[in-house]
Amino acid sequence: MADLLLGQVLHFTGDPFVLGEAAAQHISDGAVLVEGGRIAAVGEASALKAAHPQATRHDYGRALISAGFVDAHVHYPQTAMIASWGKRLIDWLNDYTFPEEMRFADPAYAEDIAARYLDIVTAHGTTTVCSYATIHPASVDALFGAAQARGMRVYTGKTCMDRNAPPGLLDTAQSAYDDSKALLRKWHGVDRLSYVITPRFSPTSTPEQLAAMGQLWKEHPDCLMQTHLSEQTDEIQWVKELFPQSRDYLDTYETQGLLREGALYGHSIWLTEREKARLIEAGASLIHCPTSNTFIGSGLFDMGLARQLRVGLATDTGGGSSFSMLHTMAAAYEIAQLRGQALNPAQLWWLATQGSARALHAEDKIGNIAPGMEADLVVVDLASTFPIEQATRRAETLWQQIFPTIMMGDDRAIRATWIGGRPKG
Pair 288, 375 in one domain: no
- Predicted local distance difference test score (pLDDT) of residue 86: 67
Helices (H), ranges, 151-232: 173-187, 207-219
Q: For residues 85 and 157, which has the higher predicted lDDT (pLDDT)?
A: 157
Average pLDDT over residues 41-54: 98
Average pLDDT over residues 317-335: 94
Pair 212, 329 in one domain: yes
Is pLDDT at 82 greater than 90 in this prediction? no
Query: Percent of the chain having pLDDT more than 90?
Result: 93
Range of the domain at 28: 3-68+367-424
CB–CB of 304/278 below 8 Å? Answer: no
- Predicted local distance difference test score (pLDDT) of residue 319: 84
pLDDT tens readout for residues 161-213: 999 999 999 999 999 999 999 999 999 999 999 999 999 999 999 999 999 99
Pair 174, 206 in one domain: yes
Pair 126, 173 in one domain: yes
What mean pLDDT value characterizes the chain? 96
Q: How far apart are CA 294 and CA 76, in angstroms?
A: 19
pLDDT tens readout for residues 141-153: 999 999 999 999 9
Pair 347, 381 in one domain: no
Is pLDDT at 83 greater than 80 in this prediction? no
Pair 328, 264 in one domain: yes
Pair 206, 314 in one domain: yes
Q: What's phi and psi for 247, nearest 5 deg?
A: -70, -35
pTM (whole model) above 0.85: yes
- Predicted local distance difference test score (pLDDT) of residue 274: 98
The CATH number of whichever domain residue 36 belongs to comes to: 2.30.40.10
CB–CB of 25/11 below 8 Å? Answer: yes
Query: Percent of the chain having pLDDT more than 70?
Result: 99
- Predicted local distance difference test score (pLDDT) of residue 352: 98
C-alpha to C-alpha distances, 355 to 184, 310, 350, nearest whole angstrom = 25, 7, 5
C-alpha to C-alpha distances, 308 to 276, 279, 280, 282, 285, nearest whole angstrom = 10, 9, 7, 11, 10
Q: How far apart are CA 331 and CA 151, in angstroms?
A: 29
Question: Does residue 319 sit in helix, strand or coil?
Answer: coil
Beta bridge partners of 198: 159
CB atoms under 10 Å from CB of 384, counted, come to: 22
pLDDT tens readout for residues 246-268: 999 999 999 999 999 999 999 99
Question: Does residue 297 sit in helix, strand or coil?
Answer: coil
CB–CB of 11/67 below 8 Å? Answer: yes
Residue 113: closest CA among 83, 137, 133, 85: 133
- Predicted local distance difference test score (pLDDT) of residue 425: 66
Pair 270, 354 in one domain: yes
SS3 of 160-179: the string is ECCCCCCHHHCCCHHHHHHH
Confidence of residue 357 (pLDDT cuts 50, 70, 90): very high
Average pLDDT over residues 115-130: 98
Pair 311, 384 in one domain: no
Pair 223, 252 in one domain: yes
Average pLDDT over residues 366-391: 97
Pair 172, 262 in one domain: yes
Average pLDDT over residues 355-383: 98
CB–CB of 7/61 below 8 Å? Answer: yes
Beta bridge partners of 6: 31, 59
Confidence of residue 95 (pLDDT cuts 50, 70, 90): confident
Average pLDDT over residues 46-73: 98
Confidence of residue 84 (pLDDT cuts 50, 70, 90): confident
Residue 402: closest CA among 376, 378, 381, 387: 381
- Predicted local distance difference test score (pLDDT) of residue 356: 98
Q: How many domains does the chain have?
A: 2
Boundary residue ending a domain (359, 384, 402): 359
Residue 329: closest CA among 166, 126, 165, 120: 126
Boundary residue ending a domain (322, 342, 359): 359
Pair 316, 301 in one domain: yes
Confidence of residue 340 (pLDDT cuts 50, 70, 90): very high
**Looking at 52-56, 86-90, 201-205, 285-289, which range is the least confident one?**
86-90
Q: For residues 13 and 1, which has the higher predicted lDDT (pLDDT)?
A: 13
Boundary residue ending a domain (319, 335, 359): 359
User: What is the enclosing helix (H) or strand (E) of 128?
Assistant: strand 126-132
The CATH number of whichever domain residue 272 belongs to comes to: 3.20.20.140
